[in-house]
Structure 1
């Protein structure tokens, strides 16, 4: 499973599940979004959103991420990782900015 954790003020805000079934997307941020070319006529997709806020995400890795951010004086960050079937985490990106995704927040009522 692919995840993104958002941190503001060096503290965990929320996690987003990233659907990689159509390929591996490294940038869930609104700034990276392209027009959806698969629906050129203005139709709507019936697929689940690619980025979904994870309700109640509570994982021991969050405390470690916060320590890394504090040690490096990073206040705003997005940390992306993959978790395999055994629960092993592989961090592949630490962004020292946010990967804010408005669609995920709207769907989650944020």
Structure 2
């Protein structure tokens, strides 16, 4: 889930090269992310923190509230401790800065 199309496509293309990864959906906003995750129930969802309509942490809290078994991993430009803690508190499984 990434609002920048070029980056989203790059991540999807890169993950598709791995034999154990299957990209089953993409979204560009928080509300779209929830729709896709509710419908497809992927094992893992990669989310950006800053998304239009609903931020990644709000999406994660909703996934948790609905008991959807998808694990959320944040892939974001934000690498400050405050964002990491907010994301983990929201229910994120992991957090990775884009500059890694």
TM-score, with structure 1 as normaliser: 0.23
Larger helix fraction of residues: 2
Larger strand fraction of residues: 1
Larger Rg: 1 or 2?
A: 1
With CA pairs under 8 Å and 6+ residues apart, which has the higher RCO, 1 or 2? 1
TM-score, with structure 2 as normaliser: 0.24
